[in-house]
Amino acid sequence: MSKNKNDLQLIAETPFLRLVQRERWSFAQRPQEISVVAIVAVTHDNKLVLVEQYRPPTDSRVIELPAGLAGDISGKEDETLQTAAARELLEETGYTAENWKQLATVVSSAGLTDEKITVFLASTLTKAGEGGGDESEDITVHEIPLDQAEHWLAEQAKNHRDIDGRVFAALHWAKAV
């Protein structure tokens, strides 16, 4: 194992993930200095916009917030978090947003990775495209009335859909709009 910055030892590395160790704890990192953004998107008629896609680590379709990486596109490594959030919202859902508010930066899974996710609220949405992701993604877009979202999520769980935990936090933020 080789020494890395911040007293980390490199255990293994792929183009997309790095496994490192700090003292007796091993965890995953992204190899580049890339940030993650997630979007709580609320339509003018109070619907929460969620996405669903297959995720290999869980071998299941997962209900999630629209989200993605900032700084992962060649030539745009210095894009702002809000710019990345706007790009991901359009790409995944087909929506643009007039109003943006940074809500929080949260840890993804503190026992597994040092990754942090910056969450934005996007409102005053306009449908500007189809969504569905890029050529490597197969994303289904869901627009759920906020007053029915908890019931809808419970039904999805009964139907063996996994639900990302940030969706439940999004319900709190969306209802505060």
Is there a single domain that holds both residue 148 and residue 131? yes
The pLDDT assigned to 75 comes to: 82
- Distance of alpha carbon 96 from alpha carbon 98, whole angstroms: 7
Secondary structure of 75-122 as H, E, C letters = CCCCCCHHHHHHHHHHHHHCEEEEEEEEEEEEECCCCCECCEEEEEEE
Identify the CATH number of the domain in which residue 88 sits.
3.90.79.10
Is there a single domain that holds both residue 18 and residue 39? no
Number of helices (H) and strands (E) in the chain: give both, helices first.
3, 12
The pLDDT assigned to 177 comes to: 67
- Distance of alpha carbon 174 from alpha carbon 103, whole angstroms: 11
Place of tokens 């290999």: 56
> What is the distance of C-alpha 94 from the center of its chain?
16
CA-closest candidate to residue 42, choices 101, 109, 113: 101
Catalytic residue numbers, as ranges: 135
* Residue numbers of the chain with a pLDDT score lower than 50: 1-4
Is there a single domain that holds both residue 122 and residue 67? yes
Is there a single domain that holds both residue 37 and residue 27? no
Is there a single domain that holds both residue 49 and residue 26? no
Range of the domain at 26: 1-31
The pLDDT assigned to 130 comes to: 87
- Distance of alpha carbon 150 from alpha carbon 117, whole angstroms: 23
Is there a single domain that holds both residue 27 and residue 37? no
Tell me what percent of the chain is helix, strand and coil, each rounded to the nearest 5.
20, 45, 35
Is there a single domain that holds both residue 17 and residue 39? no
Is there a single domain that holds both residue 55 and residue 75? yes
Number of domains in the chain: 2
